[in-house]
Every structure is written in structure tokens, then in C-alpha cells.
Amino acid sequence: MKVPKPYLESPEPLAIAHRGFSLAGLENSLVAFQAALAQGYQYVETDINTTADGVTLVFHDPSLERATDQRGLIAELPYAVVRNSLIGGQEPIPTLREFFAALPDARFNIDVKDAGSVATLAELIEELGLHERVCVASFSDKRRRQVLAKLSKPVASSPGLNLTVAYVLLGPWLPARLMRALLRDVDVLQIPRNFGRLKLVSRRSVARAHRLGLKLHVWTINDPAQMNELFDLGVDGVMTDRADLLAGVMRARGYWPTP
């Protein structure tokens, strides 16, 4: 049985603020992350992309136009150009180094969006000693494993798309030893509640993950009724855009102290 990585050790389920917390469209800004911390959060989720000249940014999309007042592909632009973009027309895009510096007590679920971000993430984890405060995620298991291979100490990790699909489709049928081998470098499954009409999270699927020595987190849940339903099923964490609503659920269930 796997011993949980320090990142995942908690007596209660984890509440994870997805791209921070902003009702004003300021996702992945330092203002949004500070707002999540002000709600009581320790865990925040974010994404990283890297500019043409190698500056790694805390930003979800490969291009600027949806979330900022500028246009263009981040991977094709130098940082001197990208730094003029404002999230929601108001807030600068933080670099990964600025992000870590601004949140000295937080824990980070980081989705590696491009190959250019692999080296910088690994270098900063090593330099800042963040091994116990980071979970490395990516839709690409290749990128995820490249980060892990560059680290001197183990960190928590969640699988990419291919391994997640394999778990969902084959998990009920494969012998546990084969599934453990397939997920040997994975610590936590992070999946949606449903995929179309297919329900992915049930008491049985949670128990199966736990038998494999894995935690199970569910994204991105913005309905308090669904949050409560998932906690009743025994999930180990919930990601949300509505940090305010999830904080209320955490307190109502006694997971967090009442302010």
C-alpha cells in the first residue's frame, strides 16, 4: 500500500480553489489566489504555459485572447510582449516564480500545459524546496513524467488523460496488481464527476481507488449539493471555481473551523 505524499496528508478532504477565486473573471491572477486564501484555502490549482523566450507563466490557455485584453499565442511571443497583457483587463499575468513567492504557505496543484514549462517547474521545485507542497498534473503523462524525472525527491502526481481513461475503462476489470503497475507513479486521481452521461464517481469507484492506494479528487464542482454528495461518497478532495460556496460546505460539515 502506498504511503500518502505529504501534499496529500490531511484528516479531512481537500478543498482546492480552481485558478484561485474570482467572480470578476480574474482567474489565475495573484488577486484571485489571495482571495482564495482569504476564504480559508490552503490548496490552489493553476496552470502553466511558457513564452517564446522561456518565461513560465501562471496561465491556463495557450493563447491570450479569452482571459486578457491582448491576442496571440504565448509560446510564440516574448515575455516583453506578454507582460503587457492584463487578465480581465485589470491584473498582470504572474510568472511562476512570482506565484510561488506570493503564496509562501499555500500548496499547489499545477497543470503543466506545454513542454516548455517542464524544466522551469522542476527547477523551481528544487530551488525553493517545494517537494511537499506541489502536486504535478498534466493531460500529458509524458510531460508529467518529465517533471518527475528531473526532481531529486518524490512529489505527489496525478495522471494524464491516457492513464485516467485507462483507469476509468479498465479499472473495474483489471486485476489490482496490474492497475497498480499501470499507475505506479500516480498518487491521486483527479477526474470529473461525470463524462457526458457516464457517472465516474460512485461509492464503488472511490473504494476502488482507495484499495489501489490512491486518493480521488473531483473537478470542477460549483454546486453545494454536488459537493456534499461527493463528500458523502468519500472522495478525498474537490476542486471548485466557487471557493466561497465550497468553504461554506467545508465549515458546515465541520471540516474547517467556523470563523
> Read out DSSP for 91-159?
EEPPBHHHHHHH-TT-EEEEEE-SGGGHHHHHHHHHHHT-TTTEEEE-S-HHHHHHHHHT-SS--EE--
Across 10-88, the runs of DSSP E, i.e. the strands, are: 14-18, 43-50, 56-58, 86-87
The C-alpha cell that represents 79 in the structure block:
515575455
- The whole-number average pLDDT for the span 131-143 is 98
- C-alpha span between 58 and 110 (Å, rounded): 9
pLDDT, residue 172, reads: 85
CATH level 2 (architecture), domain 158-250:
Alpha-Beta Barrel (3.20)
pLDDT (tens digit, 9 = 90+) per residue, 48-95? 999 999 999 999 999 999 999 999 999 999 999 999 999 999 999 999
User: Considering just the CA atoms, what is the radius of gyration of the chain in Å?
Assistant: 18
What pLDDT does residue 116 have?
A: 98
| Residue pLDDT, tens place only, 169-209 | 888 888 999 999 999 999 999 999 998 888 999 999 999 99
pLDDT value at residue 173:
87
* Residue 233: partners with Cβ closer than 8 Å, 6 or more residues away: 201, 202, 203, 206
Whole-number pLDDT of residue 169: 86
Q: Do the domains 14-157 and 158-250 sit in the same CATH topology, yes or no?
A: yes
pLDDT(3) > 80: no
Give the confidence band of 132 by pLDDT, cuts at 50, 70, 90.
Answer: very high
Return the higher-pLDDT residue of 167 and 68: 68
User: For residue 195, what pLDDT is reported?
Assistant: 87
Indicate if the pLDDT at residue 1 is higher than 70. no
Which cell numbers hold the place of 106? 499555500
Contact 59, 47 (CB under 8 A): yes
* Nearest alpha carbon to residue 111 among 33, 41, 58, 151: 58
Alpha-carbon span 124 to 236, nearest angstrom = 27
pLDDT, tens only, 10-27: 999 999 999 999 999 999
Percent of the chain predicted with pLDDT > 70: 100
Give yes or no: 210 in active site. Answer: no
Task: Please give the CATH number for the structural domain made up of 14-157.
Answer: 3.20.20.190
Nearest one of 126, 132, 70 to 97, comparing CA atoms: 126
- Cell numbers placing 33: 489566489
Question: pTM higher than 0.75, yes or no?
Answer: yes
Contacts of 198 (CB under 8 A, 6+ apart): none
Domain ranges of the chain: 14-157, 158-250
Percent of the chain with pLDDT over 90: 92
Locus of grid cell 483507469: 167
